[in-house]
Structure 1
Amino acid sequence: MSPTATPATVVTAPGPATAGATAPTGRDPFFDNAKYLAIVLVALGHAWQPLTYTSRTATALYYTVYAFHMPAFILISGYFSRSFDLSPAKVKRLVTGVVVPYVVFEVAYTYFQHWAEDDAPPESISLTNPWYLNWFLAALFVWRLTTPIWKAIRWPVPVALVISVLAAVSPDIGSDFDLQRVLQFLPFFVIGLHLERHHFDLVRRRWVRIAAVPVFAAVIAVNYWPPPQLNTEWFFHNDSAQGLHEPAWTAPVALLALFACAAVLTACFLAWVPRRRMWFTALGGGTLYGFLLHGFLIKLSRWWEWYDAAEWIRRPVGGVVVTVLAIGMMTVLCTAPVRRVFRCVVEPRMDWAFRTSAK
């Protein structure tokens, strides 16, 4: 599906929480609302996936969410990464907010899988091959480090698009740090780096909010009745054209089409995000907690076959129940009590590990 760890004053999506149960003064409710709603979409996408085998409605909703939820996360992450440089303080935040959670959860996920699957042999820990959700932290680390480059060159977005397409025709990139996703999603981060606050206000116009309704309806309809030539694996951006058994020339066509679709859907999504403080606004500061922690429950649902526990789960009423449970799960995981418990591994202070100049 959030997905990022940043300081409380430099929020990304998904980003770590700030201390306290309410959004602190000075935070823009719009972005906290957007992050919470987007992280809920991540949970829904993961929760709906097992239902896609028996429900066309779940399939349509699933692929519609996957068409834009990560681009929206990444764009907002880029927007709040505009001030990143290689200063000691920013490097410290990159280490404590991205690198440390990456290492901790890479180890935790590996041992959790061994515990959950009793008959499975223990997997070796690989810090270069992100496990499940950890790919986003690996990507954010790379994107943040390259931020000075994208702020310095003359045509950053076209260059990022070219790199994205080249990645999609390069089957030998390998799985290290999930570089296919890192490079294919790169343009959205670069766009975010060059946005200003007034650009987000443009999508708040009334006609955009109204137009968003038929746009989403059209995308859902296409995913409900997909054309036979549509390869839905492109939505995940985790393989090359050759790896998807497609000719190389399809890469620029597919990526540019998905890029345009994601950009439009992201604009439509942001048009619907409330600008005022809502009951869930404070939860927007804890989306990284929800993002990383919900992976344990999602994987348990697969390994322990929760979706096969009863026939009604794969019926329409089951889809409604799964949807409600996914929203509730993500909401709870973003709350202040959960953040207090896991702050030591999601956004540790670690002043002891840095020189005084890094503070």
Structure 2
Amino acid sequence: MFHSDSSSGHQRTPLPPAQRPAAGVPSPRHSPERPAPENRPTKGESGKKRDAFFDNAKYLAIVLVAMGHSWEPVKAHNQFLKALYDVVYTLHMPAFIIISGFFSRSFDARPDRLRRLVTGVVVPYVLFETAYSLFKRYVGHTPDQPISLLDPWYLTWFLCALFVWRLTTPIWRQLRHPLAVALVVAMAASVSPDIGNDLDMQRVLQFLPYFVLGLTLRPEHFRLVRRWSVRIAAVPVFAVALAVAYWAAPQMNTAWFYHRDAAQELAAPWWVGPLMVLALFACSLVLTACFYSWVPGRRMWFTSLGAGTLYGYLLHGFLLKGADLRGWFEQPWLHRPLGVVLVTLFAVTAVTLLCTPPVQRVFRFAMEPRMEWAFRRDAGDAARRREGTSGSAGGAARGASRERVSA
């Protein structure tokens, strides 16, 4: 996705070029390091180069999400599993949100990007929120389950959050200290129970600092956490985190990790909310940095699945929630160690299969609809396409020169 800065004079490392994102989440582009011949970035459907590190990170983060969801129904009487659950919940969404913010740096109010936001975020939200509501009504036998687009159920909150975060990106890019402001917003939300459940705004605001952090990061920050010294240090850091989580598991209210409630709603004094926001933000950054340090930078068997992580994220909920609503997790043997292992393997296998290209092709109508019929033609976009076509021959040499400089 990025190139190391090895040029001299006044030449600077170029930012990643604009690229069509997959289902509302921007896609990786150029490699942050000079790739070896066998590890060069591959091209996605749009013809732009994808970076293996970020595809790997997205896939592994979504696997952690599925594992955490599968452990929720079986962790009640297992202190070690609850500790592992708390550690995973400290880092999996922050890791995914930071990457989403990083690739949203160039977002503006250009018509083509607004259309992409509608087709890649708004439309999937409407379809999946409706589908999940009907799913809960008929599979969970709750006939009074309403279909409300203002009250996200289960996984669809992330699409609401992504829509708000992306729309406000130009504002955060203009602030002198955006991360500090985002933390203040998150702390204020943690003491404001009157925010309510509309669009899951508590989560939108309390997870906001991670997205804004992604907006402020540069390629060299990811290179720093991928050094061998960080990879080695990550081992004792995770060990200590797991030990602390094991010690705190009986007393810790897991709801703090969901960022969906104010402090007063968790039976805590109001002043605990801001402290927990800061404490969890610090812990999440440390563990997320350790997670990134272990993500391979070369192409792996699962690298191509990074383009379909939002498919796996939204679809795996039907499997796990269906099993939960049907009472399948109430089987006593599933709460034993072997049962937990089988549940984990099922979640990992399911989310992996749901990220594959065949599944993407089947559900692309809902995740990435084209919808040209719904939008007015943009003369500027057509001009940009004509310019790109007419200048492709001459631009190839200039692009090759830029790649040599930035490599």
TM-score in terms of structure 2 length: 0.82
Instruction: Find out whether 1:179 has 2:201 as its counterpart.
Output: yes
List alignment gaps of at least 5 residues for structure 1: 1-6
Spell out the pairing of 1:242-281 with structure 2 (5 A cutoff).
Answer: 242-281=264-303
Shift of 1:298: 1.2
Deviations 1:271-322 (A, max 9, x none): 000000000000000001000001111111111111123x321111111111
Match of 2:255 in 1: 233
Q: Distance in 2 between matches of 1:131 and 1:179?
A: 13
Structure 1 residue aligned with 2:226: 204
Greater Cα offset, 94-103 or 320-329: 320-329
Matching residue within 110, 114, 121 for 1:87: 110
Q: Does 1:9 align with 2:20?
A: yes
> Which letter does structure 2 place at the counterpart of 1:268?
C
* Residue equivalent to 2:359: 338
Which structure 1 residue ranges, 4+ long, deviate > 4 Å from structure 2? 11-18
In the alignment, is residue 314 of structure 1 matched against residue 347 of structure 2? no
Hey, what's the Cα distance between the residues in 2 that align with 1:173 and 1:157?
A: 22
Partner of residue 192, structure 2: 170
Question: In 2 relative to 1, CA 296–229 (structure 1 residues): closer, same or farther, beyond 3 Å?
Answer: closer
| Cα offsets for 1:156-180 (capped at 9, x unmatched) | 0100000110000111111111111
1:128–1:176 contact (8 Å) kept in structure 2: yes
> Match for residue 4 of structure 1?
none
1:3 match: none
1:116 alignment counterpart: 139
> 2:183·2:209 contact (CA, 8 Å) conserved in 1?
yes
Change beyond 3 A, Cα 1:11–1:79: farther
Q: State which of 74, 84, 104 in structure 1 corresponds to 2:127.
A: 104
- Deviation (angstroms), 1:229: 5.6
1:28 maps to 2:54: no
SS at match of 2:150: coil
Instruction: State the match for 1:353 in structure 2.
Output: 374
Q: Between Structure 1 and Structure 2, how many residues are aligned?
A: 348
Give the SS at the match of 2:203.
Answer: helix
Task: Show CA shifts across 1:100-144 (max 9, x none).
Answer: 0000001111111122134x2142211111111000000000001
What's the % identity of the aligned pairs? 59
Deviation at 1:60, TM superposition (A): 1.1
* Alignment CA distance shift 1:151-1:192 (3 Å): same
Deviation at 1:12, TM superposition (A): 8.7
Paired residue secondary structure (1:85): coil
Match of 1:303 among 325, 343, 366: 325
Q: Which has the higher contact order (CA 8 A, sep 6+)?
A: 1
- 2:404 maps to what in 1? none
CA shift digits 1:243-284 (9 cap, x unpaired): 111111111211111000000001000000000000000000
Partner of 2:71: 48
Tell me the distance in 1 between the aligned counterparts of 2:269 and 2:250. 16
Residue by residue, what CA displacement relative to the aligned partner does 1:296-354 show, whole Å, maximum 9, x if unpaired? Answer: 11111111111123x32111111111111111001000001111000000111111111
Inter-partner Cα distance in structure 1 for 2:25 and 2:122: 15
SS of corresponding position for 2:71:
helix
Q: Deviations over 1:218-252 (max 9, x none)?
A: 11111212176643321111100111111111112
Q: Output the CA distance in 2 between the equivalents of 1:124 and 1:39.
A: 28
2 CA distance for matches of 1:315 and 1:23?
Answer: 44
8 Å CA contact 2:312–2:355 kept in 1: the answer is yes
Deviates more, 1:93-102 or 1:223-232: 223-232
Q: Summarize the Cα distance change of 1:124–1:230 in structure 2 as closer, same or farther, 3 Å threshold.
A: closer
* Mapped contact 1:33–1:284 kept (Cα < 8 A): yes
Check 1:327–1:74 CA distance in 2 against 1; reply closer, same or farther (3 A cut).
same
1:71 corresponds to 2:68: no
